[in-house]
Amino acid sequence: MKITWLGQAGLLFETGGKKILIDPYLSDSVAKIEPQNYRRQPIDERFLKIAPDMIVITHSHADHLDKETLCHYLSKDSSVTVLAPSGAWQEIRSFGGLKNNYVLFDNGTTWTESFASFRAVKAEHSDKNAIGVIVGENGKNYYITGDTLYNEKVFESLPDCAIDFLFLPINGVGNNMNFHDAKRFAQRIGAKHVIPIHFGMFDNVDPSEIKLKNKKVLPLYQSVIL
Amino acid sequence: MKITWLGQAGLLFETGGKKILIDPYLSDSVAKIEPQNYRRQPIDERFLKIAPDMIVITHSHADHLDKETLCHYLSKDSSVTVLAPSGAWQEIRSFGGLKNNYVLFDNGTTWTESFASFRAVKAEHSDKNAIGVIVGENGKNYYITGDTLYNEKVFESLPDCAIDFLFLPINGVGNNMNFHDAKRFAQRIGAKHVIPIHFGMFDNVDPSEIKLKNKKVLPLYQSVIL
Amino acid sequence: MKITWLGQAGLLFETGGKKILIDPYLSDSVAKIEPQNYRRQPIDERFLKIAPDMIVITHSHADHLDKETLCHYLSKDSSVTVLAPSGAWQEIRSFGGLKNNYVLFDNGTTWTESFASFRAVKAEHSDKNAIGVIVGENGKNYYITGDTLYNEKVFESLPDCAIDFLFLPINGVGNNMNFHDAKRFAQRIGAKHVIPIHFGMFDNVDPSEIKLKNKKVLPLYQSVIL
């Protein structure tokens, strides 16, 4: 899988010519409501011009479901399969478009395409419908936890499968895990590789403070093969 | 059991002189709200003239709970037992009629008649009260999933019984399973026979795209014995 | 336990000089709203003059929480412990009275007195807060299901204890079990004795149609020792 970190929780997955966007935040819209949460990272406008096949939104907060970003992908003429949990689903489907397929994606649901599968799992967050997602492709499992605290219900919701790559928040504010709990989370999951995300956008969090041998910090806006 | 597919999710079950209608959609009412969702199938008016003993409604969406169809069956003088989950139940009981028995039919409830039993199970859909129903008759189980995605909570809600005939949506939009997940669903249920429904009314979906050896496509408006 | 059936779901339990009323309906108030649901049974005014120690209300429908009946028992000067689930509790506490104790009695709660214990269990009904109650006294368990359909969540809510006497609705309308499901319910509970209630008030239902060897039909307004 070709993977590009877009900053904050934004990810672009590419496989077999298909483009999957997860929680893209490529604007400064949050700062209009919360001035202290201005972007510390530039916007790479190349990523506003792509035509995604799928968009996955993990919850309704504005740095995950960002209408100023999404309006570049969703229109009357686009053909996108959009996966979003209750709340976010009601919000994002207001983009309309008869060729877009807005799929309710609550904890427990699997949506399968020929190129990848998507399983919604629980996230424990202030949006109580928040989810994480496990993307299955070519025999590998990529688990993006979504914004979450360390909660037993998250573990109970997970299918019995090995996780190859774990993407998780480490910023410790806004109902996300801090370094300690993110480390415990990663160890409990037993993922082969751990990728910290959700830092550097509204803060100066240093991912080197999370001590894990199998940690991998992705370079911003540069694709890697994972 | 004598079974007639009425198009979309509509089914007529007949046994021992009793008539059971499930989600009949025999109008073009949806097109008034969503013009693109006009009927692609004719209305066979014979089925508007029957006098059902029971009506099962799986959820409140207009192609399942269609007042323009239901007004042919429910009146002050009819004697129908109506099973419907929360939301749909509140809506359909507005037809009134002192001899009609409107039964709340949420996930987990069984309603038994001498000629058949009806068990409500979970469906995962944008109407969060949506159900599926397992009809038990003469030692056989007919499982109509209702509109649903592939979700673990659906499987958890199922009683421990073999399914002889599985009726499930395959259209892949409007929070229904696509071919991939419908096939996985059928294989996990282990049904002896799989009957795709919920296609051909608002779309050109081709049921031959779902590859299952035990698949059976019902002819429209023609009764079969299953 | 000395038990008197008051018609419909009304019961008077007496033990050790204490009087417990459950869902007393001793008026014709329902007929004012629903003329077809007029009383088919006389009112025995003796039972309006008692001073109960406890009142248990299983849900908010007017043949269970009947203000025209309850005003005979609840006043500024009465000393009654009232157990009622959400909804019914908000409604009944409007009777006030500083010596009355209005206890919220939702599924899962146990309230214990020296003479008896009361355990709230789930009922599946159109009042979604509806409960049943298991009265424990002198080593025996009396389970009054409340108005309910046959639903798995009811069975899941039950404590692991033998039921000596099971009181259950059999009228088959208004979201109550019919004969078939009431019989299945009784068999699944495995109660030693089964007592049909909730018939004869608004209908001509004949309890002899429910075939159970351990069935006991109580005489109206006559106390029996159970």
Sheet holding C131-137, edge to edge: C110-112, C117-122, C131-137, C140-144, C165-169, C193-197
The reply to whether residue B175 touches residue A111, judged by beta carbons under 8 angstroms, is no
Q: What type of residue is B193?
A: H
As beta bridge partners, residue B137 has B140
The 3-state DSSP class for residue C151 equals strand
What pLDDT, in 10s, does the model give residues C128-186?
Answer: 999 999 999 999 999 999 999 999 999 999 999 999 999 999 999 999 999 999 999 99
Interfacial residues of B (vs A; Cβ cutoff 8 Å): 36, 124-126, 128, 149-153, 172-173, 175, 178, 180-181, 184
- pLDDT tens for the 226 residues of chain B, in order: 999 999 999 999 999 999 999 999 999 999 999 999 999 999 999 999 999 999 999 999 999 999 999 999 999 999 999 999 999 999 999 999 999 999 999 999 999 999 999 999 999 999 999 999 999 999 999 999 999 999 999 999 999 999 999 999 999 999 999 999 999 999 999 999 999 999 999 999 999 999 999 999 999 999 999 9
What pLDDT, in 10s, does the model give residues A52-110?
Answer: 999 999 999 999 999 999 999 999 999 999 999 999 999 999 999 999 999 999 999 99
pTM for this model (two decimals): 0.94
Among A8, A7, A95, smallest CA distance to A55 is for A95
Give me the mean pLDDT over the A149-165 stretch. 97
% of chain C surpassing 70 pLDDT: 100
| DSSP tag of B218 | P
Predicted local confidence at residue C67, as pLDDT? 98
**DSSP line for A24-48:** ---S-HHHHH-TTS--SS---GGGG
CA distance B216 to B196: 7
Predicted local confidence at residue A160, as pLDDT? 96
Do B218 and B210 contact (CB within 8 A), yes or no?
A: no
The reply to whether residue B106 touches residue C151, judged by beta carbons under 8 angstroms, is yes
The yes/no answer to whether this complex scores an ipTM above 0.90 is yes
Write the CB contacts of C12 (distance below 8 Å, at least 6 apart in sequence): C3, C4, C6, C19, C20, C21, C22, C24, C47, C50, C52, C223
CB under 8 A, 24+ apart: contacts of C88-94: C88/C57, C88/C58, C88/C59, C88/C60, C88/C64, C88/C127, C88/C129, C91/C60, C91/C65, C92/C57, C92/C65
Q: Which candidate in A99, A109, A161 is best for mutational testing of the B interface (most B CBs within 10 A)?
A: A109
- Using a CB-CB cut-off of 8 Å, the residues of chain A touching B149 are 103-104, 109-111
Under-70 pLDDT residues of chain C:
none
Among partner residues A110, A113, A114, which is closest to B150 by beta-carbon distance?
Answer: A110
- Using a CB-CB cut-off of 8 Å, the residues of chain A touching B204 are none
Helices in chain B by DSSP H: which ranges? Answer: 29-33, 67-70, 88-92, 152-156, 179-189
